[in-house]
Amino acid sequence: MAQVLTQFDTIAAISTPLGEGGISIVRLSGQDAVKIANKVFKGANLAKVASHTIHYGHVIDPETNKVIDECMATVMLAPKTFTRENIVEISCHGGIVVTNDILQLLLANGARMADPGEFTKRAFMNGRIDLTQAESVMDMVRAKTDRARQVAMNQLEGGLMTKIKAMRQDLLDTMAQEEVNIDYPEYDMDDMTGQEMKQKAISVSKKIDELLNTAQEGKIIRSGLATAIVGKPNVGKSSLLNYLTQDDKAIVTDVAGTTRDTLEEYVSVKGAALKLIDTAGIHETSDKVEKIGVERSKKAVDQADLVLLLLDSSRELEQEDRDLLEFTKNKKRIIVLNKNDLGQKISPETIKKMTDSPVVVTSVLQKENLDQLENAIEKLFFKGIENSADQVLVTNQRQASLLVKARQALAEVIKGVDDDMPLDLVQIDLTNAWNDLGEITGESAPDELITQLFSQFCLGK
């Protein structure tokens, strides 16, 4: 069980983005949070107010009696807080100077500057949340679509934690039964216990596979899908970017080679974030600037999760088109036959003879069939994603890799039973699987992992 941190010092940080705004919030957490806030807050005596109440007053420098700002102080007493420690949040006017002045006052009067993610780390260490919920906090902060927010909310409410703990309990029950068998060998229950270990390993492995099957969708929803828009010059790449972003991000002219560099923009397609990369036209050129753009375009293709390859369907297939089809053949891609409004000289049937990639016929200028492009993206990547907002998804590589390790350990359990290995040796693999699953939730995670994970959080969270 997580160790309680309430004996540690009181921490403070600015919990809202720095800059001009309606309000800023400076947060304190720790045993002395109320005591320290009371030194600089004049209005109500915060030491005597009820928990979870808000109070009007002023922040005043106790050394000079200078008024820093008019503000509101929210008092929340342990254990019913995010960190399970006393928390005071001072809501002041939004501004870099005033917010920083209040923070510096709190630091001068006994608080310590919080490390990145330390509030959430204390919530974890004090047993308020597990590691999957802690990770979902940052997923919520970084969510770029409503579906990403909902998936993070499901995680924050303990969806993945509940499934992992149920699997661990199944393994623990089996491990306990084997311990009885080791302690009381006179009952000679090896055959029965071995088969039960095997069946339990098979059952938990299936549940792990179900979670791993969600990993790709979870990654896409959490991090977005790197999507490169490629094609030779003047096939409509920038027009497609502008359509998807509903903005004139890229310059569109009838002059080939207008885009000299890659442009990036996030859009939402079927509830998932696409990081669109409008590339310079990939073609042979003697122009030094264009050459740099072409090289960057090729690099963008290499790093992309999805390639939207645009071809000008109003012109015959040219060698540059064939080169691009060859260059992108190993990527997940959708072939977009654009400029259909100008007549069709490249048919979908011609392209389908050359590749298994989905083909969409459209006119970006006339906004024809662009819904089919979105449907093709959904079909290629987001199978079952329509219901993913209500499902438990594996959303990061750490979780997925530990699930794979647990499944491998369970495979060794099954093999060990089939090979008639001594059950106390088979028990080692069962215990390894149990520990791997525990590392996902943090119940058996090493301190180094905890420190490294929370160091990636933003300051004040």
Please, are residues 311 and 337 in contact by the beta-carbon 8 Å criterion? yes
Cα torsion at 299, 300, 301, 304 (round to 10°)? 130
Burial of 73 by CB count in 10 Å (0-12 exposed, 13-18 middle, 19+ buried)? buried
258 is in an annotated binding site: yes
10 is in an annotated binding site: no
254 is in an annotated binding site: yes
Q: What are the DSSP calls for 40-82, one per residue?
A: HEESS-TTTSPSSEEEEEEEE-TTT--EEEEEEEEEE-TTSSS
Cα–Cα distance for residue pair 390/366, rounded to 1 Å: 36
278 is in an annotated binding site: yes
Please, are residues 229 and 251 in contact by the beta-carbon 8 Å criterion? no
432 is in an annotated binding site: no
231 is in an annotated binding site: no
279 is in an annotated binding site: yes
236 is in an annotated binding site: yes
235 is in an annotated binding site: yes
162 is in an annotated binding site: no
389 is in an annotated binding site: no
* Nearest in space to 338 (alpha carbons), one of 348, 328, 329: 348
257 is in an annotated binding site: yes
Cα–Cα distance for residue pair 413/411, rounded to 1 Å: 5
280 is in an annotated binding site: yes
**Cβ atoms within 10 Å of 309's Cβ, excluding its own:** 28
419 is in an annotated binding site: no
407 is in an annotated binding site: no
442 is in an annotated binding site: no
* Nearest in space to 10 (alpha carbons), one of 111, 78, 82: 111
DSSP 140: H
255 is in an annotated binding site: yes
Sequence-distant (6+) residues with CB within 8 A of 218 are: 151, 393, 394, 395, 396
Q: Which residues are annotated as a binding site?
A: 27, 89, 128, 234-239, 253-259, 278-281, 461
Q: Which residues are annotated as a binding site for (6S)-5-formyl-5,6,7,8-tetrahydrofolate?
A: 27, 89, 128, 461
Q: Which residues are annotated as a binding site for K(+)?
A: 234, 253, 255, 258
Q: Which residues are annotated as a binding site for Mg(2+)?
A: 238, 259
Q: Which residues are annotated as a binding site for GTP?
A: 234-239, 253-259, 278-281
